[in-house]
Chain A
Amino acid sequence: MTEAYGDAVTAPFWAAAGQELLLQRCDSCGAHQFYPRPFCLACDHDGLSWTPASGTGVIYSRTEVRVKVRPELVPPYTVAVVALAEGPRMTTLVVGDDGEPGPTCEIGDAVEVAWMPRTDAPPLPVFRRSA
C-alpha cells in the first residue's frame, strides 16, 4: 500500500494495526474514545493523543450469525460488541486460539485483541477469549 489506509483522521489507527490497538486519549480529561475524531466527545477539548490500549475488554453483546454475509466468512460465526477496558466499545469478530472465526462466547466474557490478516487492507482487530 502506497497510500495510508483509512481516512485523514483514522490513518494512525490503521498504521499501527497488527502491532498495537491505538485509541485516542484526551489530553485534558483523560477520556478514551473510539472511533477517532478530531475533538474529545467527553469534554469537547481539541487536544487528543494516540495511546496504546490494553487490548482487553469484555463482551457487551454478541450474535451468532447463521447466514452468509461476506464471501470470506463461513457461517456460523460470532460477531460481538466489546467494551474495552478503557471504556469505548468496538464491533468485532470472535476468533479461537487458531485465529479463525467461529467460536461462540457469552456476554461478560473477558477477551483480548488479536489481529486477522487481510490481503487488501491492514490487519483487522478481532478478539479471542482470554486464557
Chain B
Amino acid sequence: MLGMVGRAAEGFYQVCRGLWTVFKHSGRPPTTKEFPDVMPELPGAFRGRLALAVNPETGEHLCISCRQCERVCPDKCIDITAHKSPQTGKLELIDFKIDHGLCMFCGLCTEVCPTSCIINTSDFEMSEYSRGALIYDLKRLTLSQEESAYYFAKKDLPPPKPKAKPAPKPEAAGDAGESLAQQPSDVSQQPGPKAEE
C-alpha cells in the first residue's frame, strides 16, 4: 500500500517535471524559418541549380567546350553542341543544354571543369509547370557578370585568367593535355573578334 502511494507520488512528480520542461520551451525563440519571406543563408558549397559562369572581369564565356562535364555526368543530362570554327579552327560553343529534371546535383561536372565554368549556384527554387521547362539552354544557364563575380567570391574559386593574354603561358607549362595545349594557340586569334562584338 505504502509502496503504491510512493509510486503514485513519483509518477505525479515526473509528470509535473515533464510539463515544466515543455512549458519552459515557450520561452525559447522559435526555430521556424519563414522561407519565402526570409531566404536561407546557404554555404558556398551548396549544390543547387547548375549554371555557366563568365569571366567576372571581362565578361567572356568561360566554357571551352572540352566536354569533360558531359562525359563525367552519371545521368547524362548535359548535352553540348560545339563545332570547330572554320575561321580559327578552334572549338566553338553553339549550345549547352542541361536537363535539370534528370540531374541529381552530384556536382561531378563542377569538379572536372578545367575553367570553373560550370558551377552549382545557391538557387534551389526551380519549380516549373512542365518537364520541358526544366531543360535549360545556353541562354538560361549563362550567368551575368555580377552573378559570376558573386559566386566566384562565395565559392572562393581562383579568379579565371583572361583567355586572350595568357595564350603562350599554358604551352610553357607544358603538361596540359593535347586539346588544352592546342586551344590556347587557337584562342590567341579569338579575342580580337570577340572583343569587337
A and B from one assembly? no
What residues of chain B have their CB less than 8 Å away from a CB belonging to chain A? none
